[in-house]
Amino acid sequence: MAEQVWWWPYAMILVAGWLATDVWRWLGVLLSGRLREDSELLLWVRSVATALVAGVISKLILFPAGALADAPVALRLAAAASGFAAFLVGGQRVVVGVLAAEVVLIGGWLLVGLG
């Protein structure tokens, strides 16, 4: 374990946090150089970024951290699915989807009796 002087956590945050994160953003800016908005290459890059964020989504639902892990997995999936369905049916308004998902989650949670 590293020596625990008072500034150590701050040094950790600067190097292992700020630098380790922002370096990717800077690289993204520099590499995007002449990438044109309608190019095939950008279409691919966007697909990769979108799939990656979608991976974050399904991880948040299937393997959540903290309190959500106490809700049964079927309930979490049902809540997300009904939220998305409500979003599609309700004129693609994000609020509609989010509210529907919460109603199903909390309603279902109360029914299951884990609250």
Partner 1 sequence: MLRGTRAAVSIPALILSAAFVGYAGLARESGLSLSETLMLTGLVWALPSIVVLTGAISAGMGMIPAAIAVALASVRLMPMTMALMPLLRVEGKTRRWHLLVSSHFVAVTAWVFAMRNLEDLPREGRLPFFFGFGASLTSFVFCVTGASYLLVERMPMMVAGALFMLTPVYFLCSLWGAARVAADKAALLAGLALGPVFFLSLPGLDLLWTGLVGGTLAYLGTRFARRGFR
Query: Count of H helices and E strands in the chain?
Result: 5, 0
CB of 5 to partner 1, least distance (A): 13
Q: Does 72 bind partner 1 (CB under 8 A)?
A: no
What is the rounded radius of gyration, in angstroms, for the C-alpha atoms of the chain? 21
d(CA 106, CA 90): 20
CB of 108 to partner 1, least distance (A): 11
Size of the site for partner 1 (CB under 8 A): 78
Binds partner 1 by CB under 8 A, chosen from 72, 76, 78, 89? 76
Binds partner 1 by CB under 8 A, chosen from 78, 87, 111, 113? 87
Q: Are 75 and 108 in contact (CB under 8 A)?
A: yes
Nearer to partner 1, 11 or 74 (CB): 11
- CA 100 centroid distance within chain: 19
From residue 33, alpha-carbon distances to 19, 30, 48, 49 in Å are 21, 6, 18, 17
Q: Binding to partner 1 (CB under 8 A): which residues in 10-69? A: 10-32, 35-37, 40, 42-68
Binds partner 1 by CB under 8 A, chosen from 72, 78, 79, 89? 79
